[in-house]
Structure 1
Amino acid sequence: MHDAQRARRRSSAGRQVRLAAGATLLATVAVACGGGGGGEEAGGGAAPAQIPELTDDELTLSFIWFEWPPAQALEDFANAEYTKERPNVTIEVNTVPNANWRDAMFTQFAARQTDFDIPILDSQHIGEAVTNGNILDLTDFVEENIEVDAYDPYLLAAYGQYPQAETGQRDEDASLYGLPLLGDTWTMVYRKDLIGEEPPQTWDEMIDVAAQCQADNPGVSGLAFHQSNGSDAAAVTYNTVNGVYGGNLWDSGEGQIEGVINDDAGQKAMDVLVNEMKPLTALGSGNWFIDEVNAAVAQGQACIAFQWIAASGGLLDPEQSTLGTTREEISEVLGFAPLPSQETDFVPLGGMGMHVSAYAPEERQAEALNFMAWFLQEDIQKKWAAAGGVPSRTDALQSPEFLDGAPYNQVYADSVSRMRDMWNVPVYAQLIDIENTNVNAALNGAKDPAQALDDIAEQQQSVLDSSGGLD
Structure 2
Amino acid sequence: MRYPKRIRRLSVPRRTAQLATAAMLVATTMAACGQDDGADSSAPKAPATIPELTKDPLTLSFIWFDWPPAHALEDFANAEYAKERPNVTIKVNTVPNANWHDAMFTQFAAHKTDFDIPILDSQHIGEAVTNGNILDITDFVKKNIDVKAYNPYLLAAYGQFPQAETGKRDENASMYGLPLLGDTWTMIYRKDLIGDKPPQTWDQMISVAEKCQADHPGVSGLAFHQANGSDAAAVTYNTVNGVYGGNLWNAKERKIEGVLNDAAGQEAMDVLVNKMKPLTAKGSGNWFIDEVNATVAQGKACIAFNWIAASGGLLDPKQSTLGTTREQILDKLGFATLPSQKTNLVPLGGMGMHVSAYSSKANQAEALNFIKWFERADIQKKWAAAGGVPSRTDALASPEFLDAGPFNQVYADSVPRMRDMWNVPEYARLVDIENTNVNAALNGAKEPEDALDDIAKEQQGVLDSGSGKGGGGL
TM range (shorter): over 0.9
Corresponding position: 1:15 with 2:12: no
Q: Which whole-Å deviations, capped at 9, do the CAs of 1:269-318 have from their partners, x for residues lacking one?
A: 00000000000000000000000000000000000000000000000010
TM-fit CA distance, 1:41: 3.0
Please tell me whether the aligned partners of residues 127 and 162 of structure 1 are also in contact (alpha carbons under 8 angstroms): yes
TM-fit CA distance, 1:168: 1.0
Counterpart for residue 51 of structure 2: 52
TM-fit CA distance, 1:39: 5.8
CA distance in 1, matches of 2:291, 2:100: 19
TM-fit CA distance, 1:212: 0.2
Q: Any runs of at least 4 consecutive aligned residues in structure 1 with deviations exceeding 6 A, and if so which?
A: 24-27
Matches within 5 A, 1:66-465: 66-465=65-464
CA distance in 2, matches of 1:231, 1:13: 17
Please tell me whether the aligned partners of residues 464 and 470 of structure 1 are also in contact (alpha carbons under 8 angstroms): no
CA distance in 2, matches of 1:25, 1:145: 40
Q: Which whole-Å deviations, capped at 9, do the CAs of 1:331-373 have from their partners, x for residues lacking one?
A: 1110000000000000000000000000000000000000000
CA distance in 2, matches of 1:24, 1:341: 42
TM-fit CA distance, 1:25: 11
Please tell me whether the aligned partners of residues 66 and 96 of structure 1 are also in contact (alpha carbons under 8 angstroms): yes
Please tell me whether the aligned partners of residues 261 and 453 of structure 2 are also in contact (alpha carbons under 8 angstroms): yes
Q: Which whole-Å deviations, capped at 9, do the CAs of 1:121-176 have from their partners, x for residues lacking one?
A: 00000000000000000000000111100000000000000001111100000000
Matches within 5 A, 1:29-44: 40-41=39-40, 43-44=42-43
Identity %: 78
Q: CA 1:39–1:209 in 2, change beyond 3 Å: closer, same or farther? A: closer
Please tell me whether the aligned partners of residues 24 and 103 of structure 2 are also in contact (alpha carbons under 8 angstroms): no
Q: CA 1:25–1:269 in 2, change beyond 3 Å: closer, same or farther? A: closer
CA distance in 2, matches of 1:195, 1:166: 38
Question: SS of 1:319's equivalent?
Answer: helix
TM-score, with structure 1 as normaliser: 0.94
TM-fit CA distance, 1:97: 0.3
CA distance in 1, matches of 2:80, 2:382: 9
Gaps of 5+ in 2: 1-11, 28-36
Cα RMSD over matched residues?
A: 1.6
CA distance in 2, matches of 1:410, 1:20: 41
Please tell me whether the aligned partners of residues 42 and 133 of structure 1 are also in contact (alpha carbons under 8 angstroms): yes
CA distance in 1, matches of 2:106, 2:357: 14
Counterpart for residue 6 of structure 1: none
- The amino acid that maps onto 1:105 is M
CA distance in 1, matches of 2:14, 2:247: 38
TM-fit CA distance, 1:264: 0.2
CA distance in 2, matches of 1:180, 1:418: 18
Q: Which whole-Å deviations, capped at 9, do the CAs of 1:388-415 have from their partners, x for residues lacking one?
A: 0000000000000000110000000000
TM-score, with structure 2 as normaliser: 0.93
Question: SS of 1:167's equivalent?
Answer: coil
CA distance in 1, matches of 2:424, 2:228: 21
CA distance in 2, matches of 1:459, 1:470: 19
TM-fit CA distance, 1:15: 1.5
CA distance in 1, matches of 2:317, 2:215: 26
CA distance in 1, matches of 2:162, 2:170: 9
Please tell me whether the aligned partners of residues 346 and 419 of structure 2 are also in contact (alpha carbons under 8 angstroms): yes
- The amino acid that maps onto 1:197 is D
Please tell me whether the aligned partners of residues 47 and 141 of structure 1 are also in contact (alpha carbons under 8 angstroms): yes
CA distance in 2, matches of 1:341, 1:43: 40
Gaps of 5+ in 1: 1-11, 28-37
The structure, 1 or 2, with the larger RCO (C-alpha pairs under 8 Å, 6+ apart) is 2
Count of matched residue pairs:
450
